[in-house]
Chains A and B, each alone.
Chain A
Amino acid sequence: MSASVLYDALGPRAKRRVAVGSIIAVIGAIAVLALVTVQLEEQGQFEQEKWAPLIDPSDERFPLVWDLMFEALGNTLIAAAWAMLFSLIIGTLLAVTRVTAARWYRWAVVGVIEFLRGIPVVIAIFFAARVLPEAGVDLEPLWFLVIGLTAYNSVIIAEIVRAGINSLPAGQREAGESLGMTRWQVLYLILLPQAFRIMLPALISQLVVVLKDTSLGFIISYPELVRTAGFIVQNLQNPIQTYLIVAVIFILINYALSRLAIFVERRLSRGRKAAVPEAQPMAATTVTGAGAGVGA
């Protein structure tokens, strides 16, 4: 945000006004923070007893708490990794078969996609965890979570892949076909590799969504971060403190992933055409926005 087109370089009077505005904004923020702090203090939320097991390494519960936290973080990451992998595979299959296969199949795929896009992820997870056992499918909670997440995210990824393929210049496909390649060869050797490069930022953003959605595993007793925080809270009676730590963990990881997505995007756009102006920094995000939107 160097020079915004929305306002001029500031003159002396405007500078003064901005300074006053800044001060008011900062004072307002401090006032709200102070008010919250006082209230929390009154409720005893800063008591050593509530914080020590989380932040004081000399507390005897500290290693136990963090062992649990890291185990839970591992569970969160494992679920997200599997869900992302399966979503990528199934999503890509959905996307490529949707453009190539027979008409009845296309209709079926569109139906499934619309169905899964229209229901909440949490219902998809619930569905997997409650209906599959009734049908005699016996799995660990991890896999029900992965199935639920995959069902939802694979259709999102299918849309991202389709957008990626469609964004390639028609000449790529034509050149492949003129060399005598089959439709599948064109797809696998020419279109998909390029499409994935374009899609990479959008895929990383989707990973953020998947990571956040693993927290819904608490509904089916999968011991990820949010549910494990629940166990810790029942032992230590410090819900505010523990969930604050969980929030910070999620925000740090997801923020890092978002930065990675932006970095990859810049690398890619620099690599392909050196002269892309910064005028359209949202190009790749639009792909994400259209397909992914907000996950939970």
Chain B
Amino acid sequence: MRLRGLMVGAVTALVLPLAACGGSDGGDSTNPPANEAASFEAGTTMEKLNKAGAVKIGTKFDQPLFGLKGLDGKPVGFDVEIAKIIAAKLGISADKIEWVETPSKVREEVIEQGKVDFVVATYTINDARKQRISFAGPYYEAGQDLMVKKDNSAITGPDSLKSANAKVCSVTGSTPSENIKKYIDPANLVLFDVYSKCADALRTGQVDVVTTDNVILLGLVDASKGEFKLVGKPFTKEPYGIGVTKGDTKFCEFIHETLEEASGNGGYEKAWKDTAGKVAPDTPKLPTLATCS
């Protein structure tokens, strides 16, 4: 089972040291160049980070295509690229970023406690979370979908799960795992700590369906060498946002400017094509940004 993700890992592993040797523009040739002339209004988060010349960013380490720790110990993925674009705009080069692993359950906590400066981690914007933190974005909109084996024609959407008595796999404590409970008998829900285990369970016939956000499933479909397919009917909307300290409107607005600029100059598209775009057919447009509050 050879796959793209593995090649990505191997390629980055080969490219990074080379780029580091040849780098003369203050950053890697593969990374967005740091905005060295940046200067910010006194007292803002941007000024603080720019002066420090370093930033702590929370992302996932176990989410293929978005944030996955590679064999060289560095995370790769679309979230990571978006984070690098923001850091570059702050005048911080990619090698000055400290990556902090933020699994779903600790994301609000680490922002509140100031353990990270912001979080880019397949982080769905919702009202419960807005009670504790603020979101910039959304920078991407996903939707929950189902993944089944290639020859499965019985499952056509969430409503067909019950009649098929399908066993469904998802990740412990995740939003998709709670969403799907509406459609199935709880005894048919199987939970693991990462989606790759769900994919293994699907391949060996232990479960019939894997459910989570469609982009994550795409990565698994790609890795399966044609064994799996997507049902292709997203039944929720999952706008991914960037988590910042609650009420930090100026920083949120700064991130919005950065995202719009990246959308205009091709940086957003490049970030996508280098990562998730390798398996997802269409390059998304930056969604309409919400108002900062």
Direct A–B contact in the complex, CB atoms closer than 8 angstroms: yes
B71 touches A61 (CB 8 A): yes
Is A212 close to B, CB under 8 A? no
With A133-B113, A230-B194: A237-B3 Cβ-Cβ less than 8 Å: yes
A221 touches B101 (CB 8 A): yes
A49 touches B194 (CB 8 A): no
A138 touches B2 (CB 8 A): no
Instruction: Choose among A50, A138, A239 the residue that contacts B200 (Cβ–Cβ < 8 A).
Output: A239
What sequence of 0s and 1s flags, for each residue 65-78 of chain A, a beta carbon within 8 Å of any chain B beta carbon? Answer: 10110010000000
Of the stretches B5-13, B126-134, B277-285, the one at the interface is B5-13
Neighbouring B residues of A221 by C-beta, 8 Å: 61, 101, 103
B69 touches A231 (CB 8 A): yes
Neighbouring A residues of B200 by C-beta, 8 Å: 239
Is B14 close to A, CB under 8 A? yes
What sequence of 0s and 1s flags, for each residue 232-246 of chain A, a beta carbon within 8 Å of any chain B beta carbon? Answer: 111111010000000
Neighbouring B residues of A239 by C-beta, 8 Å: 196-197, 200
Is A60 close to B, CB under 8 A? yes
Q: How close is A61's CB to chain B, nearest CB, in angstroms?
A: 6
Instruction: Choose among B5, B61, B101, B193 the residue that contacts A218 (Cβ–Cβ < 8 A).
Output: B193
With A133-B109, A234-B5, A234-B196: A61-B62 Cβ-Cβ less than 8 Å: no
Is B32 close to A, CB under 8 A? no
Q: How many of B's residues come within 8 Å of A, CB to CB?
A: 29
Consensus secondary structure, chain A interface:
helix
How far, in whole Å, are A96 and B118 apart by their CA atoms in the complex? 48
Instruction: Choose among A49, A65, A232 the residue that contacts B1 (Cβ–Cβ < 8 A).
Output: A49
Q: How close is A105's CB to chain B, nearest CB, in angstroms?
A: 35
A232 touches B109 (CB 8 A): no
Is B72 close to A, CB under 8 A? yes
Is B68 close to A, CB under 8 A? yes
Q: How close is A201's CB to chain B, nearest CB, in angstroms?
A: 36
What sequence of 0s and 1s flags, for each residue 170-190 of chain B, a beta carbon within 8 Å of any chain A beta carbon? Answer: 000000000000000000000
Is B233 close to A, CB under 8 A? no
Neighbouring B residues of A230 by C-beta, 8 Å: 62, 193-194
Neighbouring A residues of B72 by C-beta, 8 Å: 64
B71 touches A68 (CB 8 A): yes
A234 touches B3 (CB 8 A): no
Neighbouring B residues of A60 by C-beta, 8 Å: 10, 13-14
How far, in whole Å, are A49 and B223 apart by their CA atoms in the complex? 14
Neighbouring B residues of A44 by C-beta, 8 Å: 1
What sequence of 0s and 1s flags, for each residue 1-27 of chain B, a beta carbon within 8 Å of any chain A beta carbon? Answer: 111011001100110000000000000
Q: How close is B252's CB to chain A, nearest CB, in angstroms?
A: 25
Is B250 close to A, CB under 8 A? no
Neighbouring B residues of A68 by C-beta, 8 Å: 71, 73
How far, in whole Å, are A221 and B110 apart by their CA atoms in the complex? 14
How far, in whole Å, are A65 and B73 apart by their CA atoms in the complex? 10
Instruction: Choose among B1, B61, B70 the residue that contacts A237 (Cβ–Cβ < 8 A).
Output: B1
With A64-B13, A221-B101, A231-B62: A138-B115 Cβ-Cβ less than 8 Å: yes
Neighbouring A residues of B91 by C-beta, 8 Å: none
Neighbouring A residues of B101 by C-beta, 8 Å: 221
| Chain A interface size range | 20 to 34
Is B241 close to A, CB under 8 A? no
A235 touches B115 (CB 8 A): no
How far, in whole Å, are A47 and B70 apart by their CA atoms in the complex? 22
How far, in whole Å, are A61 and B11 apart by their CA atoms in the complex? 10
How far, in whole Å, are A60 and B12 apart by their CA atoms in the complex? 12
Q: How close is B7's CB to chain A, nearest CB, in angstroms?
A: 10
How far, in whole Å, are A39 and B115 apart by their CA atoms in the complex? 48
Is B137 close to A, CB under 8 A? no
Neighbouring A residues of B194 by C-beta, 8 Å: 230, 234
Neighbouring A residues of B243 by C-beta, 8 Å: none
Neighbouring A residues of B9 by C-beta, 8 Å: 61, 235
How far, in whole Å, are A201 and B268 apart by their CA atoms in the complex? 61
Instruction: Choose among B71, B73, B103, B113 the residue that contacts A138 (Cβ–Cβ < 8 A).
Output: B113
How far, in whole Å, are A236 and B10 apart by their CA atoms in the complex? 10
What sequence of 0s and 1s flags, for each residue 198-237 of chain A, a beta carbon within 8 Å of any chain B beta carbon? Answer: 0000000000000000000011010000000011111111
Instruction: Choose among B61, B73, B196 the residue that contacts A233 (Cβ–Cβ < 8 A).
Output: B196
A64 touches B71 (CB 8 A): yes
Is B64 close to A, CB under 8 A? yes
Q: Which residues between 128 and 145 of chain B lie within 8 Å of chain A, taking CB atoms?
A: none
How far, in whole Å, are A44 and B225 apart by their CA atoms in the complex? 13
Q: How close is B282's CB to chain A, nearest CB, in angstroms?
A: 25
Instruction: Choose among A50, A133, A232, A237 the residue that contacts B71 (Cβ–Cβ < 8 A).
Output: A232
How far, in whole Å, are A60 and B200 apart by their CA atoms in the complex? 26
B5 touches A235 (CB 8 A): yes
* CB nearest to A62 among chain B residues: B71
A and B contact pairs by CB, cutoff 8 A, 19 listed = A44-B1, A60-B14, A65-B71, A67-B73, A133-B109, A133-B113, A221-B101, A221-B103, A230-B62, A230-B193, A231-B62, A231-B69, A233-B196, A234-B64, A234-B196, A235-B6, A235-B68, A236-B71, A237-B196
The interface of chain B, by Cβ under 8 A from chain A, is: 1-3, 5-6, 9-10, 13-14, 61-62, 64, 68-73, 101, 103, 109, 113, 115, 193-194, 196-197, 200, 223
Q: Which are the 6 A-B pairs with shortest beta-carbon distances?
A: A64-B71, A235-B9, A231-B69, A237-B1, A234-B196, A49-B2
